[in-house]
Structure 1
């Protein structure tokens, strides 16, 4: 993972005029990649290009400095991503291997790989600069034109004119004419909307203890477990050890069914001696005059931690209470607002607050005897549950769609949500989490999981004829229940800004969609 920044100016333009903005971008991107920083400026016939890259070492035996320059062609790659499939990486550096693959396949090499990424690639022979994000938009990449072209993982300030690149396109700048063309990229699978009501005839159920016709669901539950576990394993097996007693992986942990299922599968993959960090964030909200311990996510988080300790009592689970006093909100809100750019709504800010403080990982470690000690998280990779709600019917609007139009309306709403995953909030979340020198990984958005869930008929994934806490994300709840997560399996969906209590921290009538 790294922070990317690139400046492209016409020959003859004094790039020193952009030094102050470049310095601000360097400061912002360096927090994303604290392990190595390098810059490179080249002069072409019609353009001057300045590359900067900041590396967070998460793969290979040694830190690979970027930009990566091919010694034969002179091509240059700034790579912020992880290759999880489509290229045999093993424990080698994926950026180096990808550069070698690009030399053989050119830009088509990116179509073959699976994983979250953003890149800028100079094809020197063709005088082309390519830049793009993966087709699900799991990494941030912004663009701005103000005389020169600026490309960066994160904006330099809260000023306007930064735009987030569409994840559905690859962009190419002709460095002779300075024109930018857009090219179709990979696409997200369409959702299977075929309905067979004969498989869901009995919907009388108030608990997963007596779920009817479980034998019909069992093959789907087993396959879902296989796909999700494969995604988790692929996302953690290459993380290097930074110390014998230092956690390699953590979770942003509310105790909800999405994150706790990931944790329960993760504990089946990692050696039992390995620590797993669970970061649970709660805020002092002056409007509510209550303690952090009263936050809904704190209560479900502790409950979920205890359930995990029951299913794997020998695992060194590290439950970290991240309590955020309102004074810290005031201190850091401008910094977090800058990270949001170009996202700019009240809801964006509420969510970003929770993600930033949780991923920072500074809090108190809770022990089994209820004592606590100060703690700072060690893991550099954080697993998040994003993508589960869109694919498995977890939002209230999905139940509303069912109420107004049955299976047909629900299917259309799910397909719409899946197709627009790439255009919504993952870039924002990457900017916020990565600012703490951490990398977010999303098992529910692994290509194999998305493909499986898109092909699976709706009625195996959700059924809104069951009550809230069962009908939505039904397939996931059945898996959680079978993993021993009895209490967590029936917890209803709760948005992070309400669970952590970052929503409406000040008096007023602002709504989530209002502009900051």
Structure 2
């Protein structure tokens, strides 16, 4: 995991000591913004930080010509590359940006398949050598299409004077882009921003190609804002999956099931249909391999970390996080604990309802009017309960782990978030998740922010209130995101079946896959990485995605069956087969509702998740 920052700004060719910028904000504004962006991106990589500068000059006059002091001789473009490093691969410390023969590479990612990286090697350094050795930059899509893992990168090819940048096809790593404008005439790329700011218009970089900025052409144009778009091209990813298995996302299998596919009467069914039984075994194999690749060979920073957790799971006790934790148990050394991070929020609105109920069936709007701030504050102080739904299921599941995984230490980390703390942190979380700005963005980001921070308490005996403070040392966090989208875990999949049959479910699953790159992943990466930690998504390995997308729809879910059986049926059967009896029947609870991070105030009860939050722009 790393933080990437790259900027391109304008001076004059003959001005090598003091760059003067054309139009827009003055030098001070640009430099202050750049420094703040570097600080924000340094938090993602606390182990090392580095900076490299390069200048690209236009050819505006011949060697025989000497411009007068007042003569403008064309553009010079200054490139700054900054990267911070969270070392999770290899035996030796790495300082970015990587450099050789004028080429510069900033890498924020992990290569899990497709490139032979030994345990003692750093994947970023090895990938840079592969890029630097390419016969031609036209071969870059073929190199990237053969590797699997989350990534975002910036690569400057000195010979061609071109800047390449991209995210992986799923967008599992954040990369934000600001294009030059008349007001802000500079180019920015960054893993994370500083929030809403007048110095840029930041947006998520699209995942539908590899982008190439012709810096040489741009500096000959003499006007960066007018000619930027013509200097930026998108290189499509190759679609031949036989040659490039990781170039693009797979398509959902469109085969309709038989008129009446057999029903699975229960998860304990002794005789599953043959194709379903095979699919269960293959899912376990694919998912276990994905987890193994993501938990093995994590380097320790110091000898003092021996015996402390290297891997944690964002843990609700639901089937997704439970399955990942169990499979991690198979591949993490037994003498090493696994941290289960379970977050709970003190939510005044929920506490008020639990305390007072809805006496007399008062309409919601009338009750909202009656819940005044003084009453809420009184209730919060008197009833600081953290037994939210995810805490209840988490506690239940850790007991199942202790029964079926003897010898493993499970640190069930109770991360309790008082109301005052969540409100005091809100502005910082809004800045980190930007350009995400909806009510749902905030609810999810708050839960992820505190859970990934890993500061809480663990129980040390069965006695009531026998806890000790605990801060997780794990810097690799497993996340169950992707299971619902790939296996049909949302209520909308049932609605699709009710209205359009199996074809509706297929269409909905394809829509889920299509919008995965744009919905959660960049935001989640920015939030979790702000603590110098890395989230890894075993369900979103492109190998797992390809397997699940290729399965016929009726092997993944069955909307004809009740909740807890018909949703994500394939995963439930897999969990049952490995012994996770209690987890296999749990019903889905969205993270923001399971942790009570959503709708903190009485007036927020009816707010839609897609509404924009109100923020104050920074100067």
Measured against the shorter chain, the TM-score band is: over 0.9
Kept in 1: contact 2:195–2:430 (CA 8 A)? no
Would you say 1:48 and 2:97 are equivalent positions? no
Would you say 1:141 and 2:175 are equivalent positions? yes
| Match in the other structure for 1:283 | 345
Q: Give the Å deviation of 1:216.
A: 4.5
If the length of structure 1 is used for normalisation, what is the TM-score? Answer: 0.96
- Tell me, in whole angstroms, the C-alpha distance in 2 between the residues paired with 1:378 and 1:19: 35
| Match in the other structure for 1:249 | 311
Question: 1:228–1:199: structure 2 CA closer, same or farther, 3 Å change rule?
Answer: farther
| Match in the other structure for 2:215 | 175
| Match in the other structure for 2:364 | none
Q: Could you report, residue by residue, the CA deviation over 1:458-488 in whole angstroms, capped at 9, with x for unpaired residues? A: 1111011110111111110011111211111
> Secondary structure of 1:314's partner?
coil
Q: Could you report, residue by residue, the CA deviation over 1:16-45 in whole angstroms, capped at 9, with x for unpaired residues? A: 542100111122111111110111111121
> Secondary structure of 2:413's partner?
strand
Q: Give the Å deviation of 1:291.
A: 4.0
Question: 1:292–1:28: structure 2 CA closer, same or farther, 3 Å change rule?
Answer: farther
Q: Give the Å deviation of 1:142.
A: 0.3
Q: Could you report, residue by residue, the CA deviation over 1:368-402 in whole angstroms, capped at 9, with x for unpaired residues? A: 52532100000000000011110000111111101
Q: Of 328, 335, 340, which residue of structure 2 is paired with 1:273?
A: 335
Q: Which runs of 5 or more residues in structure 1 are unaligned?
A: none
> Secondary structure of 2:330's partner?
helix
Give the count of matched residue pairs: 512
> Secondary structure of 2:579's partner?
coil
Would you say 1:62 and 2:92 are equivalent positions? yes
Q: Give the Å deviation of 1:211.
A: 6.5
Output aligned runs, 1:390-469, within 5 Å: 390-469=485-564
Would you say 1:84 and 2:112 are equivalent positions? yes
Output aligned runs, 1:186-201, within 5 Å: 186-197=247-258, 200-201=261-262
- Tell me, in whole angstroms, the C-alpha distance in 1 between the residues paired with 2:526 and 2:233: 26
- Tell me, in whole angstroms, the C-alpha distance in 2 between the residues paired with 1:392 and 1:202: 17
Kept in 1: contact 2:413–2:456 (CA 8 A)? yes
Q: Of 273, 285, 289, which residue of structure 2 is paired with 1:230?
A: 289
| Match in the other structure for 1:102 | 131
Q: Give the Å deviation of 1:215.
A: 4.9
Kept in 2: contact 1:292–1:298 (CA 8 A)? no
Single out whichever of 250-259 and 186-195 deviates more from structure 2. Answer: 186-195
Output aligned runs, 1:104-123, within 5 Å: 104-105=133-134, 106=137, 107-108=140-141, 109-123=143-157
Would you say 1:132 and 2:166 are equivalent positions? yes
Q: Which runs of 5 or more residues in structure 2 are unaligned?
A: 13-18, 22-26, 58-75, 219-230, 238-246, 352-382, 614-619
Q: Of 203, 215, 224, which residue of structure 2 is paired with 1:163?
A: 203
Kept in 2: contact 1:282–1:292 (CA 8 A)? no
- Tell me, in whole angstroms, the C-alpha distance in 1 between the residues paired with 2:552 and 2:543: 16
> Secondary structure of 1:288's partner?
helix
RMSD between superposed Cα atoms in Å = 1.6
Question: 1:266–1:369: structure 2 CA closer, same or farther, 3 Å change rule?
Answer: same
| Match in the other structure for 1:320 | 413
- Tell me, in whole angstroms, the C-alpha distance in 2 between the residues paired with 1:331 and 1:510: 21
Q: Of 301, 309, 312, which residue of structure 1 is paired with 2:394?
A: 301
> Secondary structure of 2:313's partner?
strand
- Tell me, in whole angstroms, the C-alpha distance in 1 between the residues paired with 2:269 and 2:123: 47
If the length of structure 2 is used for normalisation, what is the TM-score? Answer: 0.80
Question: 1:280–1:5: structure 2 CA closer, same or farther, 3 Å change rule?
Answer: same
Kept in 1: contact 2:162–2:213 (CA 8 A)? yes
Q: Give the Å deviation of 1:292.
A: 4.1
Q: Give the Å deviation of 1:212.
A: 5.8
Q: Of 442, 446, 455, which residue of structure 2 is paired with 1:353?
A: 446
